[in-house]
Structure 1
Amino acid sequence: MCQAVSIITTDRYGRSVAEVWNSGGLVKSRLVHLGLVYPYEQYKSDCPSWDIVKRGEEYAIALISQQL
């Protein structure tokens, strides 16, 4: 269940870009952690929690390399 939504910016089509938090933490970090999405470096300036997202990516890469 969503606990907090923080609107970060608006994209070129007028859509809101937001961070969504739930009881497990930052939702996009968990999605990166699971390998379901990839964080693009070009958007890190619009991402207040970039360090959290990158940690999720590093964890996912470590898991994949252990399976190989």
Structure 2
Amino acid sequence: MCRRATREASLTQYTTSISQAAKALSLGRTSIYALINEGRLDTIKIGRRRLIKVESIRDLLEAR
């Protein structure tokens, strides 16, 4: 395996988009935004883009 492929394979995804989170949780985007507003999903904002922290998705699933 080349050096670049090894480096890319070792990257861990820390955030995900609203759409990806909705697919992963089998929810609609409106429900995802409701969970964000309730404080049950943590987000960060980079420019105009809002990303959900993957760890908060895991925490939400473990709490159920």
Superposed pair shares fold, TM > 0.5: no
Normalized per residue, which structure has more helix? 2
Normalized per residue, which structure has more strand? 1
TM-score by length of 2: 0.29
- Could you say which structure has the larger radius of gyration? 2
